[in-house]
Amino acid sequence: MSETILGKPLTDWVAEFPLIAPMRELQELTWFNPAVKATADALPEVGLTVADIDDAAARLKRFAPYLVDVFPETGRSAGILESPLVGVPAAQQRLAQHFGADLPGKLWAKLDSQLPISGSIKARGGIYEVLQHAESLALEAGLITLDDDYRKLNTDQAREFFGQYKVAVGSTGNLGLSIGIMSAQLGFQASVHMSSDARQWKKDRLRSHGVTVVEYESDYSVAVAQGREEAKRDPMAYFVDDENSKSLFVGYAVAGRRLAGQFQSLDVTVDERHPLFVYLPCGVGGGPGGVAFGLKSVFGDNVHCIFSEPTHSPCMMLGVYTGQHDAVSVQDFGIDNVTAADGLAVGRASGFVGTAMQHLLDGYLSVDDDELYRIIAILKQTEDLEIEPSAAAGFPGPWRVLADAEYRDRFGFDEATMARATHLAWATGGGMVPPAEMASYIAKGTELLG
Ligand SMILES: *Cc1c(COP(=O)(O)O)cnc(C)c1O
């Protein structure tokens, strides 16, 4: 930590932004942004439109037959990568005990932990971006046309073609898994630049798919920067830029319309009288930002998106709260960015997402690592769900809303409205965690619950 941050002494920062003091003490925080705007005013600030999401959804559909061919487990959904939406009433009850307050309304979970191919939310954006890149190369080379059956890409000829090209990414783990597995399957030379806190099993899994794993002692931002530099020097290389990618972002955004369909099929109403709160674990911001963009484009002012981060890595909260976005990192303020939630271990938020989405996101919360483990244990005990630490971060969300009268008053969430509300915690990952590691998460959480 330096004496000054952006040329300003720490004491001045704390005077101007009082939440920085408890943030530095790693306290759990909730901050509802007073500057949020109506969706109609804020959506145009994103710089992407519904047409971009349509385009992404259409591309995913073109690739669906190919995905069924190469990943047979996607056959059940005809090659569309989507996850279950489930009610979690037993967990709701148990969490109400844990947080000491009954939750009016209903709690749901979106099980991206069960997304095919890579078992996390990264199967949305990460796989999408690789497919987009592959499609553009294949179209340009005349290997396919837009109207073709994309199973043509599951041939030695296509794999040889893609084999001339490299795909690289910097990742804390799950993005690397998604990009690496998808790239290697298409035939690309894939390399994943990983920080030291990435789990060993993720590195092993990638290597078993023929992916080159480059490890860094330092954190995720350095891994990203190195990967980016290497790819820049090589005209045959393509770098998936987690901090700035619009392609990742629209891939994630497709989730919004699909979720609307799922709620409809379960006869859940979302309108002005029935608000939907969605709690999204946030790392660099692309995943939750893209999903939130998709949700706002479907549900407008009736959906309320709230990001959740570990107390050790509250980069998006810090960036939006101070208005400095990617000009500041949590480390600048003496916060260590060391957390069991490896998918969220990011010290500097995406400047693109922070700026584009700031007026569309109602708030930000932070969660202690021990709480993440307790939530993992509660979900296992009550609902037999298995998720990873990052994926647990959204679950305290509804109780933070309950605790903040200013926020509820500002939006007119009175008692009757809260009783009709739908709360959705996005359970972003866990499907690929080896059984022994999952068992140790659950054991740790059970022990912490006492
Ligand atoms: C990456 C990840 C997130 C957050 O996505 P970002 O794009 O980094 O904000 C959340 N949960 C899990 C399990 C992840 O792997």
pLDDT digits (tens, 9 = 90+) for 68-111: 999 999 999 999 999 999 999 999 999 999 999 999 999 999 99
Quote the pLDDT of residue 286: 97
pLDDT tier for residue 246 given thresholds of 50, 70 and 90: very high
Average pLDDT of span 224-239: 88
Residue that finishes a domain, picked among 244, 274, 300: 244
Q: Is 344 a domain residue?
A: yes
| 369 CB-contact burial (10 Å; exposed 0-12 / middle 13-18 / buried 19+) | buried
Q: Kindly state if the Cβ of 275 falls inside 6 Å of ligand 1.
A: no
One domain for residues 189 and 277: no
One domain for residues 285 and 321: yes
Quote the pLDDT of residue 329: 97
Question: 431 to each of 83, 220, 291, 426, 435, how far by Cα in Å?
Answer: 11, 22, 19, 14, 10
Q: Is 270 a domain residue?
A: yes
pLDDT tier for residue 173 given thresholds of 50, 70 and 90: confident
How far is the C-alpha of 450 from the C-alpha of 445, rounded, in Å? 9
How far is the C-alpha of 131 from the C-alpha of 136, rounded, in Å? 9
Residues with Cβ within 8 Å of 329's Cβ and at least 6 positions away in sequence, in order, are: 221, 315, 337, 347, 348
Q: Kindly state if the Cβ of 281 falls inside 6 Å of ligand 1.
A: yes
pLDDT tier for residue 243 given thresholds of 50, 70 and 90: confident
One domain for residues 287 and 214: no
pLDDT tier for residue 228 given thresholds of 50, 70 and 90: confident
Residue 221 has pLDDT above 90, yes or no: no
One domain for residues 264 and 372: yes
Q: Kindly state if the Cβ of 122 falls inside 6 Å of ligand 1.
A: yes
One domain for residues 99 and 147: no
Q: Is 278 a domain residue?
A: yes
For ligand 1, atom 15: residue with the closest CA: 343
Q: How far is the CA of 344 from the centre of ligand 1 (A)?
A: 6
Q: Minimal CA–CA distance to 421: which of 214, 211, 279?
A: 279
What average pLDDT does the chain have?
Answer: 95
Helix (H) or strand (E) holding 287: helix 286-299
pLDDT tier for residue 122 given thresholds of 50, 70 and 90: very high
Q: Is 57 a domain residue?
A: no
How far is the C-alpha of 430 from the C-alpha of 173, rounded, in Å? 12
Residue 288 has pLDDT above 80, yes or no: yes
What CATH number does residue 385 fall under?
A: 3.40.50.1100
Residue 305 has pLDDT above 90, yes or no: yes
Residues with Cβ within 8 Å of 124's Cβ and at least 6 positions away in sequence, in order, are: 81, 112, 115, 251, 252, 254, 255, 287, 290, 291
Between 171 and 78, the more confident residue is 78
Residue that finishes a domain, picked among 219, 244, 269: 244
- The structural domain count of the chain equals 2
Question: 434 to each of 163, 387, 390, 418, 439, how far by Cα in Å?
Answer: 30, 11, 15, 38, 9
Q: Which of 49-58, 241-250, 279-288, 296-305 has the lowest mean pLDDT?
A: 241-250
State the DSSP code for 347: S
Q: How far is the CA of 322 from the centre of ligand 1 (A)?
A: 22
For ligand 1, atom 11: residue with the closest CA: 428
Largest CA distance in the chain: 63
Query: Residue 303, SS3?
Result: strand
Quote the pLDDT of residue 3: 81
Give the nearest ligand 1 atom to 388 CA: 13
One domain for residues 347 and 311: yes
Q: How far is the CA of 227 from the centre of ligand 1 (A)?
A: 19
Quote the pLDDT of residue 120: 96
Residue 267 has pLDDT above 70, yes or no: yes
Q: Is 305 a domain residue?
A: yes
One domain for residues 255 and 239: no
For ligand 1, atom 2: residue with the closest CA: 343
Q: Is 60 a domain residue?
A: no
Residue at 87: amino acid letter: G
Quote the pLDDT of residue 90: 98
Quote the pLDDT of residue 229: 86
Query: Residue 109, SS3?
Result: strand
One domain for residues 313 and 437: yes
One domain for residues 25 and 111: yes
Do residues 300 and 260 make contact, with C-beta atoms less than 8 angstroms apart? Answer: no
Query: Residue 418, SS3?
Result: helix
One domain for residues 164 and 256: no
Q: Which of 49-63, 153-167, 183-197, 373-387 has the lowest mean pLDDT?
A: 183-197
pLDDT tier for residue 227 given thresholds of 50, 70 and 90: confident
Q: How far is the CA of 417 from the centre of ligand 1 (A)?
A: 31
% of the chain at pLDDT higher than 90: 90
Residue 248 has pLDDT above 70, yes or no: yes
One domain for residues 315 and 412: yes
Residue that finishes a domain, picked among 192, 218, 244: 244
Q: Is 58 a domain residue?
A: no
pLDDT tier for residue 2 given thresholds of 50, 70 and 90: low
Residue 1 has pLDDT above 70, yes or no: no
Among 118, 120, 339, say which to mutate for ligand 1: greatest number of ligand atoms within 8 Å of CB: 120
Among 117, 122, 293, say which to mutate for ligand 1: greatest number of ligand atoms within 8 Å of CB: 122
One domain for residues 222 and 364: no
Among 248, 249, 282, 376, say which to mutate for ligand 1: greatest number of ligand atoms within 8 Å of CB: 282
pLDDT tier for residue 405 given thresholds of 50, 70 and 90: very high
Could you tell me the two tokens for 284?
């660099």
Q: Is 18 a domain residue?
A: yes
Which range of residues forms the domain containing residue 199? Answer: 121-244
